[in-house]
Structure 1
Amino acid sequence: MTTKADVVAPSSLSQRYLNYLGYIYLIAFLSYYVQFPALSSRSGIEPAELAFKRAYPWLYVNIVESGYCDADSFVELLNVLGVILSIVIASGIAHHGTIYLATTAMYRFLVVLGRSFYTFQWDILLVEAGFLTGICFAPWRTFTLFQASDDGNHNNEQQVGSWPIRFLFFKLMLMSGIVKIQANCPTWNNLTALEYHFATQPLSGPLAWYAHQLPPILLRLGVAATFIIEIPAAFLLVCPFVTMRKVGSWMQFSLQLLIILTGNYNFFNLLTMALCLPCMIGDTPRENVRSFNHRLWKAMQFAFCAIFLTWSCKEMFGIERIPDVIDPERRMLGLKLIMTSDDCNAILERAVPITVACTLIFTIATGVRSTLKKTTNRLSSCTHCLVCCICITSTAVSFIDITPNFNQTSLGRIMSAPGMQYVRRYSSNISHSYGLFRRMTGVGLIPIDAVDKHTRWAGIPPSIVARPEIIVEALIDDSEEWRELNFRWKPGRVDIFPRQVAPHQPRFDWRMWFAALSTAEHNPWFVSFIKKILDGCGPVLDLLDEPEIAAGTHNITLVRASLYHYDFTRLNSEWARRIPGAKVTNTSTFLRIPEQVWNRKLVRQYLPPLEASNPSLREYLEHAGYQSTICLDNKNRCSDVDPASLSSCHLARYLRNLSGTSWTMPLVAFLSSLILVRYCNSFQSRRQKNKLKLA
């Protein structure tokens, strides 16, 4: 008879992580599906068929050229299958390694076909996290429906399999912090990055304008806290003791929550939060949790974390009291970064190899302990432990990209071994380096007549924001007056407040942010977009917030683009008045929303006026590899689609309209999955209770 002691309670954190990864995949697949017609379909800006033919020629020949299915229908079919598998994972219907690997493979396939619109780090991170989860963390020996696996072997495997995911999280955060210092960007070195960030990030959130008004000392403390969380606190994520890992995880969780409140970074922050869960998995028996020795040991770990983080602050930052240049009797708190790029290189050359070695040792030790348990298949446990060690080594390969003289380090010499060459070669398909905002963009030049002591704040010159932004203008019908075209999410009109769109990512609006940092010649996809709206392509016109043009009531005859510099308006404060060129409002309170949110000025012409029949436009696109493709008109945009994908076209159009006006689509998908999760969890709880009753 089954006894109560024989029933192994599944780890709730493990199941939550597996479910949450399904949520994130669901958001990613739905977001891709909604934007596919405008971005990657045959009539889109960058047709996926061209990338399909180059990246997967054998598959293209067997599917498209053989006549089984056209490229667009095949991509949409994979997208729908990805949505179905994501719902299966998120709802807890079934958790198995093959499901996670299949979902990851489909998303990676779609990312490759998405071309320049899917080159973001979170897409790569989702693929890497999904791969490690499928190989190391998800169950393989049991396939259960509507319940978590209650197999003791699987719980032991999760203890081992969590180490590769922890190391991935460590790599993500450490690289994100290290590259900021390695770049020698003045904004990061002076701790003034947040004085630019809220206004210059790709898509600001509703609270970004308010965060931009905070005093400089708070913003500089925020930059210092970011460095502490991303560099020293990252090492806590791979500690062998769960309390230390929890401290590091909660610090990362807090940082991601603040980023969510002020920016629109799609599912990236949610994925980072999900990676915190494997770090919180412990193996302390429940009967020992309340013991005095356990509490004492836990307090000692908290004390170690406090001492370590305090020492890190002392080594990384310097504090001094600086007299105000206007009022010398007034002292300002000056905070500066004393950690240099050489210090970061020393961390990469010495601390990272030690961390990799320790992580491998912890993984092997956890695997050995699991093999000593009676319920564990020893051969299977040894194989699983070996696979996890290989995955950790493969994940560490990407440190090559940011480590000077890598081959001279201990880790580099190990990687140079003959057997490790294969690991380095094949791991590049999955493992990548990370590091957002290596250099802060939108940093304006200080006017010569403004470089004086009266504009300084705590000894640092004022932070002048000059966010580059492309404004597209058009001649409509027979009009001779240029009209600014509004986009759904990117800044345009100065009276439009930033809106919330995450976890959905409007890829085109994001790419417009990158295009503004260079010229039109370096962004052929933008020129392709101009050609599409001149031709009246319905799916591409839906990217605009122009209902009459999208409906075909008006037609675009001529298009041009100009480059502007944007900045948030400022509340009436002492530090705002010291910033040359800043637009200061009449109010000094947060309670009143200003009539003008942005301040902008014209910089230069970005793209000269173009018409659809311009031969130079056609020649440029053909030279850039943008072959002439079909273009669905704005009246019957689904009429020219093959019958096999007709219903998919109408569904995508409906979902696209929902996502264009609000974030209803991601919300509906999230709530639907949440209902399924609740149902499956309640079903699982009833099964567990029935087992306990039989005991």
Structure 2
Amino acid sequence: MISVRQTRNLFLRGICVVYLFSFLSFYIQIPGLYGNNGILPVKLFLDNIRGKTLLAKIQTKPTLLWFASHIGLDPEYMMDVLALLGIVFSFLGFISQKLCVKLVYAILWILYFSLYQVGQGFNQYLTDDLLLEAGLLAIIVAPLFSQSRPKRYSTTKSDIITLWLVRWLLFRVLFSTAISKLLSGTPKWWDLSAFNIHFESIALPTPLAWYCHHFPKWWLRLVVIYSQVTEGALPFLFFVPIRGVRIVGFLNQLFLQLCIIVTGNFNTYNILMITLMISLLDDQVFYKRIKKQRASKWSRLFTFFLNLLIHCSILYGIYVLYDIKFDGNKLDGKITFTKSQFDEIAIKAITGSAFVGLISLALTICGVLTDLGREVTQGKRPLRTLFIPIFCSLTAISCFVMSTIPVFTIDSRTNITKNADVYNIYKKIEPYKLFNNYNYKLYKSLNSINGRPEIIIEGANNIEGPWNEYNFLYKPGNVNNSLPFVAPYAPRLDWQMWTASSSSYNENPWVLALAYRILTGQSEVLQLIDKAHSPFQNQPPKYLRALLYNYHYTLWDQRWHPSWWTRQKVGEYFPVFTKDTVSLQDYLQSQKLLPANIKQVQSTVNPIIKIVLDNLRHFAAQVEGSFFLWSVFSAGCVIILTTSKK
């Protein structure tokens, strides 16, 4: 049986890297988002949660922040402590394989979940849900204790079972993404024109997105076909018991993720997906010193041609289902199946995915236990070595059963939530984000997109003007500003501004909280915008308003022009406010977002701890977010390289 011990180690180190980026990104933004002077103060959020006792509060909202007062901290500083602990543990796991053990991953999960619980409107990201579920699998995959050298009776074979769960999570994310696009009924997915607007409308496009947007229309239709097939059909090949098929599957998915990375800033999502993809590989891919299991010449030829046959069949299926045609110098296609036909296919695919997963898991478990049982009967292993593989098998079966429920809920016709026994268990653990739904609801709104709506906040000292714009650090604003590369840093305020632009400010109370913080000149919030280029450096503006603009990329003929965007005013997003506007204060009061006396809050913090945390915060505030993340990551790489040579 092929070894996956080193593959497991690479997966665990990759999870530590994702945690490191996530905790660093969260830490940088705590004062502006959740601080006592922030947009959504975490203290106000916790104060509004009912519960007479500590246990009752934990049951209502499980987070370590409830213990802040017990160690001489307020909630804001407690968030700093949790984020810093997450940074330390993930960094140590990144630089040292010895610390990639269950206890460390359990600590990382608890720390991140505690921050996630109080994230309010700024943590509604697919990446957060995916990281929490992948973090659970890291706990399952990681060894209980560090092993500096392999033991005589190594439990390597149990890693095959636990890594299968990682592969199943990867399948669920990709499959749910692809099938929900077409099930949404959005015409732009059906006429293959979705990518005509995709690169222009994504939250934080990169400079390359501008160039991709100007690809020929027929090329963009092929990109849609490629994404539908790569995400919807090819993941089924993850469970084919042929090593070459899985490696080709890894390369296909890797290419897709790299394309997404260079065109869109999706924080740590794509790095996390690539980390999950490691489960498709084995040790022979990474380490040449591992002896390859030599098969006979005819066996190798058979698997090669079988792999070739599988992928040729897929190409033929694409040719038929998408009516691929050559027309001069271009290659074009269109969907040949109807929506009703796809609905029937979707039902079978959703149901079939669960059966394919079940069969694959059963074969994996049987193969491992049979192999170990043979070694036990031959006296090569003691009977006790079967305990861990059996325990891992039971854990894998339990996780698989729970994770199938989100898969079946992709379509209402396959929803099996009426099964009370299984569904009731799932509903009890659902708040802990252990098994999540990865359907993309966003694709339903593609029809109404024409360009990208953007909220532009303006301030003035006179009601008649002049009105000066506030520029954000990463989202589009000034049409001449270059598009940035931000990932893996996650600027949560910029992301939420993009989300809020598609709805009214009444549906996003935090927008008016942001306006109030700007009017009162809170430096923590201004740090998240663009404090260095703020139009009001000395004091905040007296008046503030927000306008809604519709942005479009400039034309290809203007590629040498300094402007990246053209924009057209749509209307008012929220009216003119001052910090003393009664309606603004009443609204924030009704939403429980109007802060109390901050000085009294901060006086409860232990002075020694406060000095340490304030100094660390002052140091971190001097560096731009994405640069800070890459600096810490580079330092870890240097440590790994220098220590490995000793």
TM-score, structure 1 as length reference: 0.82
Give 1 or 2: higher helix fraction. Answer: 2
Residue number in structure 2 paired with 1:165: 166
* Counterpart in the other structure of 1:625: 592
Residues 74-89 of structure 1 mapped to structure 2, 5 A cutoff: 74-89=78-93
Quick one: which amino acid aligns to residue 9 of structure 2?
Q
Q: 1:16 to 1:166 in 2, by over 3 A?
A: same
Matched, 1:601 2:568: yes
1:96 touches 1:143 (CA, 8 Å); kept in 2?
yes
| 1:477-556 equivalence runs, <5 A | 480-547=465-532, 549=534, 552-556=537-541
CA contact (8 A) 2:4 2:160 kept: no
Partner of 2:395: 387
Is the CA contact 1:34–1:653 (under 8 Å) kept in the aligned structure 2? Answer: no
Q: Distance in 2 between matches of 1:274 and 1:175?
A: 18
1:402 paired residue number: 410
Q: Which moved more, 1:472-481 or 1:374-383?
A: 472-481
Pairing 1:557–2:542 present: yes
Residue type of the alignment partner of 2:576: P
Larger deviation: 479-488 or 543-552?
543-552
1:665 to 628, 631, 635: 628
* Matched residue type, 2:114: F
SS at match of 1:153: coil
Deviation of 1:622 (Å): 1.7
Matching of residues 225-304 of structure 1 within 5 Å: 225-281=226-282, 286-289=291-294, 291-304=296-309
Shift of 1:39: 0.5
- Residues 594, 506 of structure 1: alpha-carbon distance in 2 compared, 3 angstrom cutoff: same
Amino acid at match of 1:489: Y
Q: Is the 8 A contact 1:207 1:261 kept in 2?
A: yes
Which residue in 1 is equivalent to 2:455? Answer: 470
Structure 1 CA distance for aligned equivalents of residues 35 and 278 of structure 2: 37
The Cα of 1:216 is off from its aligned counterpart by 0.8
Deviates more, 1:161-170 or 1:312-321: 312-321
Segment of structure 1 superposing worse, 86-95 or 34-43: 86-95
How far residue 301 of structure 1 moved from its aligned partner, in angstroms, is 3.9
Which of 12, 32, 42 is 1:48 aligned to? 42
Query: Partner amino acid for 1:404?
Result: S
The answer (yes or no) to whether the contact 1:394–1:423 under 8 Å persists in 2 is yes
Secondary structure class of the residue paired with 1:510? helix
Displacement after TM superposition at 1:94 (Å): 1.3
Name stretches of at least 5 consecutive residues in structure 1 with no aligned partner: 1-7, 323-329, 446-464, 573-584, 586-591, 633-637, 684-695
- 1:617-669 CA-to-partner distances (Å, cap 9, x unmatched) read 0111121232424569xxxxx99976333432343344234125xx3201111
Identify if the C-alpha distance between structure 1 residues 392 and 442 changes in structure 2 by more than 3 Å, giving closer, same or farther: closer
Distance in 2, matches of 1:106 and 1:529, equals 27
Aligned match of 1:676: 639
Match of 2:552 in 1: 567
2:351·2:408 contact (CA, 8 Å) conserved in 1?
no
* CA positional deviation for 1:160: 1.2
What's the CA shift for 1:331?
9.9
Whether the 8 Å contact between 2:237 and 2:249 is mirrored in structure 1 is: yes
Is the CA contact 1:45–1:540 (under 8 Å) kept in the aligned structure 2?
A: yes
Contact kept? 1:473, 1:483, Cα under 8 Å: yes
Aligned-pair CA distance for 1:403: 2.6
The C-alpha deviation readout for 1:282-328, integer Å capped at 9, x for no partner, is 79983434742452243034224313422441454123579xxxxxx
Cα distance change, pair 600–242 in 1 and its aligned pair in 2 (3 A): same
What are the Cα deviations for residues 488-517 of structure 1, in whole angstroms up to 9, with x where unaligned?
111011111201111101000000000000
Identical pairs, percent: 25
Q: Secondary structure at the match of 2:352?
A: helix
Alignment of 1:323-334 (within 5 A): 334=332
Aligned residues of 1:266 and 1:505 also touching (Cα < 8 A) = yes
SS in 2 for 1:43: coil
1:10 and 1:237 map into 2 onto residues whose CA distance is 16
Secondary structure (helix, strand or coil) at the match of 2:392 reads helix
**Residues 178-189 of structure 1 aligned to structure 2 (within 5 Å):** 178-189=179-190
Q: CA deviation at 1:553?
A: 1.9
**What does residue 416 of structure 1 align with?**
419
Deviates more, 1:282-291 or 1:602-611: 282-291
Work out whether residues 442 and 468 of structure 1, in 8 Å CA contact, stay in contact via their aligned partners in 2: no
CA contact (8 A) 2:191 2:334 kept: yes
Query: What is the Cα-based RMSD across aligned positions, in Å?
Result: 3.0
Q: Aligned equivalents of 1:363 and 1:444: distance in 2?
A: 46
* TM-aligned CA distance change 1:293 to 1:91, over 3 Å: farther
8 Å contact from structure 1 (residues 15, 148) kept in 2: no
- How many residue pairs get aligned? The number is 617
Instruction: Show the counterpart of 1:338.
Output: 336
- Equivalent residue, structure 2, for 1:207: 208
Relative distance call for 1:673 and 1:370 in structure 2 (3 A) is: farther
Using the alignment, how far apart are the partners of 1:119 and 1:151 within structure 2? 46
> Residue 658 of structure 1: SS of its match in structure 2?
coil
Does the aligned pair in 2 maintain the 1:370–1:381 contact within 8 Å?
Answer: no
Query: 2: CA distance between counterparts of 1:639 and 1:484?
Result: 36
Instruction: Say if 1:639 and 1:494 are closer, same or farther in 2 by CA, change over 3 A.
Output: farther
Give the drift of 1:109. Answer: 1.2
- Deviation, structure 1 residue 425: 3.5
Aligned residues of 1:63 and 1:70 also touching (Cα < 8 A): no
| SS, match of residue 604 in structure 1 | strand
AA at the equivalent of 2:396: C
CA shift digits 1:53-79 (9 cap, x unpaired): 539714779624557422122221111
Whole-angstrom distance in 1 between the partners of 2:78 and 2:580: 33
SS in 2 for 1:606: strand
Structure 2 equivalent of residue 453 of structure 1: none
Runs of at least 5 residues in structure 2 that lack an aligned partner in the other structure:
51-55
Tell me what 2:53 maps to: none
| Structure 1 counterpart SS, 2:556 | coil
* Change over 3 Å in CA distance of 1:483–1:353 after alignment to 2: same
How far does residue 384 in structure 1 lie from its aligned partner after superposition? 1.5
CA distance in 2, matches of 1:246, 1:331: 32
Change in CA separation of 1:295 and 1:36 when aligned onto 2, cut-off 3 Å? same
What is the rounded CA distance, in whole Å, between the counterparts of 2:464 and 2:633 in structure 1? 45
Alpha-carbon distance in structure 1 between the residues aligned to 2:151 and 2:636: 23
Aligned to 1:143: 146
- Mapped to 2, the partners of 1:67 and 1:150 lie a distance apart of 42
8 A contact 1:541–1:550 mirrored in 2? no
Cα distance between partner residues in 2 of 1:548 and 1:22: 35
Any conservation in 2 of the 1:183–1:438 contact (CA below 8 Å)? Answer: no
Residue-by-residue CA offset, 1:66-93 (whole Å, 9 max, x unaligned): 5742212222111111111101211124
Distance 1:165 1:123 in 2: 16
